[in-house]
Structure 1
């Protein structure tokens, strides 16, 4: 960065944690309070969950988001430090992510739509296992999947619920989606699939009244669904920023080689 390069103006937001709120005030006292519409970058203080909230709230403004960790999980966040923050942000690497579109048909006939930055997940609502028919690009791939649920994850979401369900970690720049079962009973050995980002996935809920299923796009839930379609919204681009040398891709590699 040359001396003549202007430093970015920063808008600070924080999670509800008292420590994050205190850190936010400290940063505002140091660097000033800039309204969102005048800022170049949003600085989000919290954990990965708050990063997700900030990206959702930023769907209209679509400002780059630089996260600093003040939460329990910080895979998507940078380390917190008050000194030299504008310079860190100016030198940070930018990663573009695209959300998923979920269209869910309820048993009542209503259609509900939502966007997911992490994943779209289907989950059983009762003690009964779910039975799902899985179609990819208009071709049935699984006539009947008996399971607790199934999810489609973006690269950004591949280290969240998807990883807990033993799905693959996907680099952020990979044009791929993860299709991952949750506690699959039949076919027992099916571990999911890596799909092209252009794939259109459709889930049909079999025996929907006996085996009710909910569908969730991040934190937006639709209960008692009978069908769900998922596709990537390539027309929506969101930017996350990571410190130089500590990119998301480097963290993904470290996670995969962790003991």
Structure 2
């Protein structure tokens, strides 16, 4: 990996801010808007924020964990950073693009690095119709919600909802129901990354549903369209001994 200028960004936590001060005192750095490589200090949530922040510039992001889980982050060390950045391996991710249309006729677009999820807003179960590439695959799903996950996001909310872990190069996304009631035995599907998925909310006035793309929430949706946006490349950097592909495989063998 070659680069000429580095910037540091950090989450608001004390640990992340302290780490940034130590790194800035030790290494040459520039303003994030002028850098050609960004080092992000925090947890997975902050990494998602950083990816969204720099999505238009297509510069690589190297994360170091100053948060909790840190699945998308490398381990934190002050020494040897330039050498680590030079040896880092690049992983290209493509986000999901959500187009949500509300019951009031408003349209909202947002990107999701992890997943797009639909969630019931009240005590009553949501009722959803699912179309994939124009064909109705499930006329009515009664559930708490449903999500469509990228491979990078498959170990996050998707895994908690009992969805499959997906290797990065598999070329598929995971469609995973959240507490399905009817059909009771349906546990989701694996879809080609080229698929366009449309969720139609049935009885929207009686059973309101919200749609969430990472941290963008749209309330009272009537229809949500989701597809992978391959025109956007997101570059993450990982230490060779701790790359994301290896972590995704290893996650499937944890007790």
Q: Report TM bin, short chain.
A: over 0.9
TM-score between both structures, scaled by the size of structure 1 = 0.96
Q: Secondary structure at the match of 2:176?
A: strand
Distance in 2 (CA, whole Å) between partners of 1:129 and 1:137 is 25
Q: Which residue of 2 aligns with 1:216?
A: 212
Contact 2:118–2:212 (CA under 8 A) maintained in structure 1: yes
Q: Give the aligned partner of residue 124 of structure 1.
A: 120
CA contact (8 A) 2:151 2:172 kept: yes
- The equivalent position to 2:59 in structure 1, one of 48, 58, 63, is 63
Match of 2:30 in 1: 34
Q: 1:99·1:115 contact (CA, 8 Å) conserved in 2? A: yes
Other-structure match for 1:89: 85
Residues 222/7 of structure 1: CA separation in 2 closer, same or farther (3 Å cut)? closer
1:27 Cα deviation from its structure 2 partner: 0.3
* 1:151-197 Cα deviation digits (max 9, x unpaired): 11111111111111011111122211110000001111111111000
Contact 2:39 2:62 in 1 (8 A): yes
Structure 1 residues 149, 118: closer, same or farther in 2, change over 3 A? Answer: same
Q: CA deviation at 1:7?
A: 5.9
Using structure 2 for the length normalisation, give the TM-score.
0.97
Structure 1 unaligned residues grouped into runs of 5+: none
Would the aligned equivalents of 2:3 and 2:36 in 1 still touch at CA under 8 Å? no
Answer yes or no: is 1:192 the counterpart of 2:188. Answer: yes
RMSD over aligned CA atoms reads 1.2
2:131 to 128, 135, 156: 135
Give the paired residue count.
Answer: 255
Asked if 1:227 is matched to 2:236, the reply is no
For structure 2, list consecutive stretches of 5 or more residues without a partner in the other structure.
none
Distance 1:96 1:7, change over 3 A: closer
Would you say the 8 A contact 1:135–1:141 is kept in 2? yes
Instruction: Give 1:8 deviation, angstroms.
Output: 4.6
